[in-house]
Amino acid sequence: MQELSQTRLGEVIQASSTTFCAQCYELYSLPPLGTLVKTNEGDNELYAVVYQAFTEGIEPGRKPIARGKDEPSEEAVFKANPQLVKLLRSEFAALVVGHKRDGRVNQYLPPRPARLHGFVYECSSEEIAGFSRCYTFLTLLVNAKAETPSDELIAAVLRLMSASQEDPRAFLVNAGKELAALLGQDYARLKAILERIKP
């Protein structure tokens, strides 16, 4: 039933306490940066936000090579080389921002990391609204040591979340206030984020 109503984005192929990495079933069917996704770990439902996505060859030692010199369009490259779809894969990495246990959302790290081959789903609007009732998860994002600049990530997460709110502006203002408390000593960073989430 869950699969019918929700979009399955991919499958966990690597996991740690703070992040997990998932491979998409289709090439390029990547969720946008900052999307709230979820996966199951036993009784816990893990929530995470997409902080990184990439597409590469399936073999680490073999770099893709340019093939479209004589092709009229990009689609034609794939048509002429149907194996490409199988030789390339899209993956995304997500930062764990909370979990649900016994119906209660906790915005701190779960006791155990995600399981490999666990399915990863995109959260629905209701779930996003339910999750973003409180802003404690911002602490995890502010302190995250990810390749993506965390300011960009925070801004992307808040922009996407605001779309699922009844009053997006009020949501952004409150989130901004929470950030102001977290970044009280770092006005430059706070200003950069506010510039990016301004409605």
Partner 1 sequence: MNRESRLGIVVSGSLSDGVAVRMDGHTSVEDVVVGHYVTIEGQKHRFLGMITDVKLDASDQHMTFFPPSADDDFSAEVLSGTSAYGMLTVTPYLLIGGAAQPDVNEPQPVKTIPSHFSPVGLSSDADIELVFGKEDDKKFWIGNPLDMETKLCLNLPEMVKRSNGIFGKSGTGKTFLTRMLLIGILQKSAAVNLVFDMHSEYGWKHRNEKGRDVKALKQLFGSKVAIFTLDEENARQRMVTPDFVAKIGYDEIEPEDISLLRQTLNLTDLAVDASYSLRKHFGKDWINKTLNLDGEDSAKVLNALNIHEGSFQSLKRGLTSLTRLTFTQPHVEQQAVSQILTRLENGTHVVLEFGRFTDIAAYILVANLLTRRIYDKYRERTERSIADGSAAPKPLVITIEEAHKFLNAEVASQTIFGTIAREMRKYNCTLLVIDQRPSGIDTEVMSQLGTKITCLLDNERDIDSVLAGTSGKSGLKGVLARLAAKQQALIFGHAVPMPVAFCPREYGTEGFYKEISSEQPNPKEIEEDINNLWR
Contacts with partner 1 by CB under 8 A lie at: 169, 172-173, 176-177, 179-181, 183-188, 190-191, 194-195, 198-199
Taking the complex as a whole, the smallest distance from the CB of residue 184 to partner 1 amounts, in Å, to: 4
Q: How far is the CB of 109 from partner 1 (least distance, A)?
A: 26
C-alpha gyration radius of the chain: 19
Cβ closest to partner 1, residue 67 vs residue 177:
177
CB of 32 to partner 1, least distance (A): 22
Residue with tokens 């706070």: 190
Nearer to partner 1, 26 or 186 (CB): 186
Find the shortest distance in angstroms from Cβ 132 to partner 1.
16
Rounded-to-integer distance, Cα 120 and Cα 60, Å: 24
Tell the smallest beta-carbon distance from residue 176 to partner 1 (Å).
3
Question: CA 94 → CA 127, 130, 159, 169, 183, distances in Å?
Answer: 17, 19, 17, 26, 23
Beta carbon of residue 97, minimum distance to partner 1 (angstroms, whole number):
21
CB closer to partner 1, 85 vs 173? 173
Name the residue nearer to partner 1 (CB basis): 95 or 179.
179
Which residue's CB is nearer to partner 1, number 2 or number 185? 185
Enumerate residues 6+ apart whose C-beta is below 8 A from 5.
124
**Cα–Cα–Cα angle for 12, 9, 39, rounded to 5 degrees:** 50
Q: What's the rounded Cα separation, in Å, for the pair 17 and 99?
A: 12
Place of tokens 């600049």: 149
Q: CB nearer to partner 1: give 112 or 191.
A: 191
Using alpha carbons, select from 23, 25, 47, 26 the residue that is nearest to residue 35.
47
Q: Identify the H or E element spanning 153.
A: helix 150-162
